[in-house]
């Protein structure tokens, strides 16, 4: 478990250092997550200790959105002034996500081998 957490933190550190030195306009943890994804693709599998460590984190991921909700409530007046823009961005993001998901599913289903007919 400690080794898996160390791997996660190391990837975050590497991502943060890359952003600091290359000025990539993305957050360091996002770059670290992409690097971890590339490493896992290269390995071809997720090591069991990493899977056991990250599963509870993923199961409780919604708790990480609580501070954002508290921030919106604490700064409600500033958010209310931008309600139209926020609503527009939320609707556009949901629509874009839906379209990209549909095209990805269509593409993946097109790559699938046709099933053999049962005789």
pLDDT tens sequence across 54-69:
899 888 888 877 887 7
Is 36 within 8 Å of 8 (Cβ atoms)? yes
What's the pLDDT band for 20 if we cut at 50, 70, 90? very high
Q: Which of 65, 74, 9 is nearest to 35 (CA)?
A: 9
- Structure pTM? 0.57
CA dist 5 to 21, 32, 64, 95, 115, Å? 24, 13, 17, 35, 41
User: Is residue 32 over pLDDT 90?
Assistant: yes
In the chain, where the domains are located: 1-59, 65-113
- Taking the alpha carbons at both ends of the chain, their separation in whole angstroms is 50
């Amino acid at each position: 478990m400690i080794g898996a957490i160390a791997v996660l933190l190391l990837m975050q550190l590497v991502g943060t250092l890359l952003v600091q030195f290359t000025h990539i306009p993305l957050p360091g943890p996002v770059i670290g997550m992409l690097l971890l994804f590339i490493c896992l693709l290269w390995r071809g599998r997720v090591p069991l200790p990493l899977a056991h460590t990250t599963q509870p984190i993923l199961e409780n991921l919604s708790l990480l959105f609580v501070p954002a909700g508290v921030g919106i409530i604490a700064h409600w007046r500033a958010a209310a002034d931008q309600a139209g823009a926020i609503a527009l961005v939320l609707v556009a993001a949901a629509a874009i996500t839906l379209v990209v998901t549909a095209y990805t599913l269509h593409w993946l289903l097109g790559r699938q081998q046709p099933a053999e007919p049962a005789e």
